[in-house]
Amino acid sequence: MLTKLEDQILMSVWKFKGQGYGINIFQHLNKINDKRITLGVVYDVLERMSKNGYVETLMGEPTPIRGGMRKKYYQITNEGITELIRSKEINDKIMDGFQELVQNYKLNQNSKKSI
pLDDT tens for residues 46-60? Answer: 999 999 999 999 998
Q: Beta strands of 10-49 (E only): which ranges? A: 20-21
Q: Structural domain tally of the chain?
A: 1
Q: What's the pLDDT score for residue 62?
A: 80
Which parts of the chain sit beneath pLDDT 50? none
Q: What's the pLDDT score for residue 28?
A: 96
Q: What's the pLDDT score for residue 82?
A: 97
Domain CATH for 33: 1.10.10.10
Q: What's the pLDDT score for residue 114?
A: 60
φ and ψ at 102, to 5 degrees? -65, -45
Q: For residue 37, how many other CB atoms are within 10 A of its CB? A: 16
- In this prediction the pTM is 0.81
What domain range includes position 60? 4-113
Q: What's the pLDDT score for residue 81?
A: 97
Distance of CA 97 to the CA centre of its chain: 24
Q: CA 90, CA 63: separation in Å to the nearest integer?
A: 42
Q: CA 75, CA 9: separation in Å to the nearest integer?
A: 11
